[in-house]
Amino acid sequence: MMNKIVFAWLIGLIWMVDVHAQEFPSQVWHNGKVFLENGALVEGKVKYDLDNNVVTVATESVETFNAVSVTRFEIFDEYYGGIRVFYSLPYASTSDYKVPMFFELLVEGEEVTLLCREYITVDNRGMNGMGMRGMYMGPMWGPPMMGFDRLAFDYYFLAESGIQKYSQKKRDLFELMDDRSSEVKLYMRKNRLSHDKRGDLLRITAYYNQLKKPNS
C-alpha cells in the first residue's frame, strides 16, 4: 500500500514539474504568415508578443513588426492545433487615444465579433469548491495548479460601437445581446453554457449572430 502511495506521489510530482516547465504559445515559433500594411506578405517562423504588440518573423533573417505596420498575421499552432488569426485593430486601453493592438479572432459575425488577448498569469484558482469540474477545463484553460503559470484571456466584443472589453459578468453579456437575451438565456440553459468560459463564449456568440440573421 505504501509503495502505491509513493508511486502516485512521484507521478504527480513529475506531472507538476512538467506543467511548470511548459512553454506557452507566445513563447515558441510557429509556421505562419504576416500581412503588412504596405501589401507585402512575409512567411516563415512566427513568434508573437501581445504585451508589446509586436510579431517577429524568421526567414533568412529575423524581422520584427509592430501592430502599426501589420494588418494581420496567421499561425499554425501545433500547441493547440489549427490556424489562429490575429488582427491589428485600433483600441484605447488606458486612455481615449486609440492605438493599433493585436487581437485574436475567435468568432466573426455580422452583428458581433468575439476577440481575445491572451496573457500568462499565476494560477490562484485552487481546487476548493470546484470538485472534479476543475480538472476538466480544457487545454486553453487547464486544471488548477496553485502557484504555477497558466494561460488566461481577456475577451472583447466588436460591434458597431467599436471594441468593448468584456467584463466576464453575465449581466454585461445579456446587455450586449439585449434584443435577443431571452433566447440566448434559454440556449445557455439548455446547453449548460457558462458566460465566462472560452468555448462556451464562442458558441453563445455564434448563436446570437445566427439569431440576428434575416428570417431567423
Tell me, yes or no, whether 169 lies in a domain.
Answer: no
Indicate the pLDDT class of residue 157, thresholds 50, 70 and 90: very high
Average pLDDT, integer, range 156-174: 93
The larger pLDDT score, comparing residue 122 to residue 10, is at: 122
Tell me, yes or no, whether 187 lies in a domain.
Answer: no
Rounded Cα gap, residues 190 and 184, in angstroms: 10
Average pLDDT, integer, range 66-71: 97
115: nearest Cα among 126, 124, 107, 125: 107
Tell me, yes or no, whether 199 lies in a domain.
Answer: no
Indicate whether 18 pLDDT > 70.
no
Rounded Cα gap, residues 46 and 34, in angstroms: 8
pLDDT in tens, 78-126: 877 799 999 999 999 877 889 999 999 999 999 999 999 999 988 765 5
Q: What percent of the chain has pLDDT above 90? A: 64
Tell me, yes or no, whether 216 lies in a domain.
Answer: no
Rounded Cα gap, residues 191 and 209, in angstroms: 17
Tell me, yes or no, whether 132 lies in a domain.
Answer: no
Tell me, yes or no, whether 103 lies in a domain.
Answer: yes
Determine contact, residues 126/144, Cβ cutoff 8 Å.
yes
Tell me, yes or no, whether 146 lies in a domain.
Answer: no
Element of type H or E holding 88: strand 83-91
Q: Report the domain count for the chain.
A: 1
Indicate the pLDDT class of residue 11, thresholds 50, 70 and 90: very low
CATH number of residue 46's parent domain: 2.30.30
Enclosing domain of residue 68: 29-107
Packing angle between helix 198-211 and helix 181-191, nearest 10 degrees?
140
Model pLDDT, residue 146: 54
Tell me, yes or no, whether 99 lies in a domain.
Answer: yes
Model pLDDT, residue 215: 74
Average pLDDT score over the chain: 83
Determine contact, residues 55/102, Cβ cutoff 8 Å.
yes
